[in-house]
Structure formats: structure tokens, C-alpha cells
A and B are shown apart, each in its own frame.
Chain A
Amino acid sequence: MTVNSATTTPTLPGTGTVRLAAESVSLAYDDRVVVRDLDLELTDGSFTAVVGPNGCGKSTLLRALGRLLRPVSGQVLLDGRAIARTPTREVARVLGLLPQTPVAPEGLTVGDLVARGRHPHQSWLRQWSRDDEAAVAEALTWTDMADLADRPVDELSGGQRQRAWISMALAQGTDLLLLDEPTTYLDLSHQIDVLELVARLHAERGRTVVVVLHDLNLAARYAQRLVAMDDGALVASGTPAEVLTEQLLADVFDLEARIVPDPVAGTPMVVPVRRLR
């Protein structure tokens, strides 16, 4: 498969230091190889969206970047150090992650959920501290969840629930944040709500964000950089304008589409025509 126009170099030129990198990473479940020989570099303060058709391996890649899945070959580097050989807790102080549609135990309050985000900063000697208290209070306020702090998570609406989880990730206080389809099952206005929150985390709190997204238009609007995957390989990487081309949509998504400028943000917007083949 050829993908033209999109740059295939894995980094944007002229950006900061590399925080998280995949070096010829291959990922497999049992014998089934899902991702082959993939290279990717994520620079400090970047906002990257990983897009691709169902089953292309984007969630699997995110799991490997978050140390949830050990590569069968190659390695993932966090701040230049092999993540597989870094203690879990040390990773958890730098890198936070939210899996797709996480589930909280019934009856768990928002406040308790967010408080659990402080776990990597606690130890047997140092249990709950003023820092923890302050971080939780701030995370709740910042995500506008303070008024819901003593409500059970399972009684919230889908959008509020996702906010509660993001609040937990914020309390964790990590520089890097990996989100696997945080907008799943949300209606459009709540999708926007969640992505605005993530974008503010990036813009105002300087978080380095990697998010797996299905919606190409939202990905193009919020992310600085898109990474397109197909069949376990990285096929394009660059600014939304560089990656989202009619050719790429045909090649990767089997979709005939027009690309027009988003009338609000000016970012590329996909207008589907029909499915190819």
C-alpha cells in the first residue's frame, strides 16, 4: 500500500525532546501479530491522535506505550529508558493512562475515585498527605467535578463519568497521558466536552497527550499531530492537513471522501462520499 503526500517520518521536525518512543516494536496476542516493526516518537508537550480503521492495532499500540503489553520484539522507551525495565510505580508517576470505557466498582464516589489517582505518590511510610489532598481537590475543581465529589460514579451520566476518570488521571499528576477512545458511547456534545477538557490539559497544564480516536474530524480539530495506522503499521504521520488526504482515506479506510476546511476551526474535515470496494 502506498500513501503519498503524507510524510512518513515519525516525528514532527523542530519539536522538543522525545518523551516516549517505540523502537521497531512488534506486538502480538499469543501467535497473532497485531503490530509489526513500528517506530514512533512522541515529543514533550505534543498532542497526538492515533487514527485508523477498526482492528488496525491502534489500541494495542497504546497499551504497549503504556507498559500494559510487552512487545515481542523492539522496545518502548520512556524518557530514554526501557519502559519494560522501569518499575511500575516509577512509570505511574510520569505516565498516566485511561483504557477504553473503564468501569468503577458500584458505590465508589467520584472523590474516592480521584483519590485513587494518588496511589503512585504514596508508600507505606507516606500514606495520605496534604499534597495528595490538594491534588485531588484541584483535580476535582479543574474538571468541574467538585460538586459531584460524593456522588457514586455509576450514577453519573456517561459524560460526567468520563470526566471523573480524567479527573483521576489529572490527580495522578503525570506529564504524559494516554487515552484510549475517551469519547466512546458519548453523544456529540459530550464528545466535544471531553475533548475540550483533554485539550485544556494539553494547553494549560502542558500535558503530553496521546489519544486514540475514531472520529477523524474531531481528531483533526483537537490534535496537533495525527498518526494513521493500517493493518499493524504506521502509514502516515504529520499535521492533520498532511495526514488527512483523500488518497489516505481511500487507501486506509476504503472510503471515497472529500476533504474540505472545517468552517469553524479551519482544520481538514472529511465528507464521506461512499465506501470503496
Chain B
Amino acid sequence: MSSSTDAAPRRQGPGGLGGPEGTAPRHGGLLRQRRSRLLGLLLLLVLVVVAATLSIAVGSRGIGLGAVWQALTDPGVPTEETVIVRELRLPRTALGLMVGLSLGVAGALAQGHTRNPLGDPGLLGVTAGASLGVVLAIHLLGVGTPAGYVWFAFAGALVGTVLVFSLGSAGRGGATPVTLALAGAALSALFYALVRAVLVSDTDSLDAFRFWVVGALAGRGADVAWQVAPFIAAGLVLALVNAPALDLLGLGEDVARGLGQRVWLARSVGLAAVTLLCGAATAACGPIAFVGLVVPHVVRVFTGPAHRWLVPCSGLLGAALLLVADVLGRVVVRPGELQVGIVLALLGAPFFIALIRRRRLVST
């Protein structure tokens, strides 16, 4: 019987294992992927600019492009058209950009952290918490304007996520994708039950709430945009910081730890970003579905699973999608308006079904 010292010969297995030493050629495929990502990013930027332009130029009242340009560049003469463009359409477009960006980025983060293709900020209790906050503000304090709702929606979103995170990390092994999704689903159900309990007993609250809950950009002035802007900015920074960690977490928590990632820290930063982004967006516009769910799936087609690309690109597509949906809502039922939340649901549902039929949905 041989001892371990003469192990060497048997280790030299039959050849064919190692290629010749030297640098591997960088492959055409990798280059191609890099190029398609850059191209996609460029396309998204163009799309956002076009959507923003449309959002400023198109409305229930027809204003010529020349007049729009004049209103933007030369506010000296306060004509009616100047006021409409500067006081209504510009803040509405800015808010749409911020909210779309937030929802897209939050969706990409939520899907990454829950490793769930149906991951949506709503899955983490943010939307339900915000809804409960708004209902309580209307019912108990008689708050009645979007600018007034913001803080309560935000507080509700924060409470919702903190509860989901602490419940989800209570068990052994801390916050895992599964425990987070379960805690989110359970708490959302509880919050919505409470919302309904209030609304059933109080028709005045119901009247005010139903305009908030459809999700709209209309009627939100520049004050709302300024209120949520700092939170969205902070959320975007955290999201970009979190993106590389998500690439590691996607390999499984054990591998991520083995590669030096502090899992608890990454989860905390990610959830903080989702709360800030989705909380601020929901506070400003009410719950808007589908952006966070659909956008990352579309973006993944050209970015692949790399979150460094997926997260920012989801933000851009989210912004473009929200603005386009808002513009559509202004056009389709002229002279009335369809709220952006409704347009998105009408567009999003068939689109999502088409996406499911075309390719297998993938998580993270």
C-alpha cells in the first residue's frame, strides 16, 4: 500500500486538462456583449430625451413647438402658454423622470435581492406601507393634498420595509431571498386589510384616497418634486453602490461571503435604497405598478445579469416608460386625462404576457 508521499505520479492525469499557458484571447462574444450594452445605454438615453421632450410639448392643450421653446428659453412674457409649460408641464416632466428612474432602479434591486423574477418593490412591503400611511393621514388628520401626503406615505413605506426586513431576517441565516419575499407578502396583506378597514368605515377618506391610489403625475406641483428629490438622489447613490454587491449575491450567499462580501451590509444598503426610491416615488405619485416589474426584464435582454449595467439601465427605461405612458394618458381621452398608473397597467399587462411567452423569465 502506498503512502501519500508518492502521490505525484498519479496526479499527472492523462493530458487534455490544461491548455497551453499564456493569456486567453478576449473573445468576440465578450466584446459583442460590451458593445450591445453600450448601444443599449445610448439608445435608452435618446429614448429618455425624446420622452421628456414629448412630455413638455404634448398636452390636452396644443402648443406649438416654437411656443414651447420660447416658453422654456424666454420666460419674460408670461403668456398663458408660458405658464402652462413652465408651471405645469415642466414640473410634471421632472417628477415623471424622477419617479420613473426610481421605480426602474428599485425594481432591479428588488428582483436582485429577492432573486425572484416577480420581484417588485411592492413585494417588499413598501407600497402597502405607503398606502396605509396615506389612508391614516387622510382619515385621522384630514390631510388632503399630494404635498401633504408625501411625508405620511414615506413614513409608511419606511415602516413597511423595516418590518419586512426585521421579520425576514429573524430566522436562522438572516435575510434570505425567500424569507424576505414571504415577510413582504404577509405584511402587505396585513397592511392592505387595514387600509380597507379604514376605507370601508369612512367614505370621505375613500374619496380622497381613490385619487391617490390610481397613481398619477397630474396635480403634483413643483413642491412635491422638490420634497422627494433629495430622497431619490440618496436612493440612487445607494443603488449604484449596491449594484456590484448584487452581482456577488447572485452567486449565492455562501459564494458571496467566500468572495469577501459582507452579506448583511449589502442587504441593508439594498433595502435602504429600495425604501428611499420606491417610498419617495409612491409618496409623490401613489402606487404605480408594472414599471419595477417589467423594466428590469426588458433591460436584461441586452445587459445580461450584470447589475452594474442592469441597475442604471433599468432606471433610464423606467423614466422613459413612465413619461411615455403619461403622455399617452393625456392624448387618448382628450380633453380628459387617463392617470399614468392606469395607462401603465393597460400597457404593462399585455406586454408582460408577451414577454413571458417569448422567453423564459429569468431572475437576477
Contact = CB atoms under 8 A, between A and B. Distances in A.
A66 to B, nearest CB: 6
Contacts of A200: 11, 13, 17-18
B13 A192 contact: yes
B363 A88 contact: no
B254 A103 contact: no
A16 interface: no
Contacts of B13: 192, 196, 199-200
Interface in B45-89: none
**A-side interface size class:** 35 or more
Given A134-B23, A137-B23, A99 B252 contact: yes
B24 to A, nearest CB: 4
B21 A142 contact: yes
A46 B260 CA distance: 24
A84 interface: no
A272 interface: no
A106 B362 contact: yes
A119 B11 contact: no
Given A120-B260, A144-B19, A149-B30, A102 B1 contact: no
Interface stretch (B126-134, B299-307, B350-358): B299-307
B331 to A, nearest CB: 37
A142 B254 contact: no
A75 interface: no
A29 interface: yes
B18 A150 contact: no
Interface string B11-49: 101001111111111111110110000000000000000
Given A99-B255, A109-B29, A138-B23, A225 B4 contact: yes
Contacts of A103: 251-252
Contacts of B257: 67-68, 88
Nearest to A118: B259
A119 B248 contact: yes
A131 interface: no
A251 B205 CA distance: 73
A30 B23 contact: no
Contacts of A143: 18
A187 B251 CA distance: 24
